[in-house]
Amino acid sequence: MSEYSQIHASRREFIKTTSLATAGAFLSPGSFAQSVKPVAAAKSDHPICVFSKHLQFLQVPELAKAVAAMGYNGIDLTVRKGGHIEPEHAVAQLPQVIAAIRKAGLEVPMIATDIIDPNHPLTEPILKMAASLGVKHYRTAYLSFDPKIGVAKSLEMHRIQLRDLAAINKKYNIQGAYQNHAGTNLGSSVWDIWEVIKDLDPQYMGVQYDPKHATAEGGMSWVNGMDILKNHIRCMAIKDFYWEKKGDTWVHTYVPLGEGMVDYKKVFSLVKQYKIHGPLSIHFEYPLGGADKGARQITIAQEEVLTAMKRDLHTLRNMLKEAENN
């Protein structure tokens, strides 16, 4: 049973106890409009976002100004435990936070959430609010394999769970995106995600495709996984790494974009071939004074973090331009 399933508070109780006053931790009352109308989608087929996990040392107005000054198109906003918005405050805070971000000329095409259980009391309120504000994609939480029943039966259970979650997504016209991630959870091998979502409408349940994790788990065969998932990819997570031996253990060493072993030239040639559109979220997992870990207090100058983010943005835009011209 998931952590969400163990929570018995009703949706009515949640909505009753959540108020706009909680937004004060991020914005001054009355600073921005209380209601936010969705705006037109970005002109780019691939609007580039900063994953806000790496700027959690900034409050939202400063976050938005910094991201806009760097030249990004938007923000992949953390709406999860420990994020810029805590899940229990999402309904109250999202309108003002997204208003602040839009005031800086940015969009919020995607959010990162803890949502995975369709029966959790926070699931529908958060998705309803996010969709009403024009958010098109949200990253789900992860699912694990239960060793008591094994992988095959776990897949059957997860297939039902994501089917029911997709029904809620359809109700509010928002896409849930499950990130493929190295490790032992559902989604590490990529093929297991296909097994549980292949019969679901990709408009409502898909994948946040991560080439780094696909390379780490798939080696040279990552191209096969991308092919089978291609119709369900509507957003992507971008970062780079290489394998490094430390002592007796091989580990993932994260590096700035373009300095690792991920074959982004091939990745974006396939993105073009498969006609994959949607936002790209750059993640900054290499050492950045704690910003890489989502720290609220960092040990290096803020400008060092922002310089790294501008560098990776420039690299990514060059990669996309090269792919478009080939």
Residues lower than pLDDT 70 in the chain: 1-43
3-class DSSP state for residue 13? helix
- The whole-angstrom separation of Cα 39 and Cα 22 is 25
pLDDT reported for residue 45 = 82
In which domain, by residue range, is 175 found?
4-325
CATH number at residue 243: 3.20.20.150
Secondary structure element (H or E) that encloses residue 311, with its range: helix 302-325
Evaluate whether 126 touches 80 at the Cβ level (below 8 Å): no
CA distances from 233 to 47, 78, 113, 301 (A): 15, 20, 18, 36
- The whole-angstrom separation of Cα 316 and Cα 165 is 32
Give the count of domains, the chain.
Answer: 1
pLDDT reported for residue 43 = 57
User: What is the model's pTM?
Assistant: 0.88
pLDDT reported for residue 155 = 96
DSSP single-letter state for residue 42: P
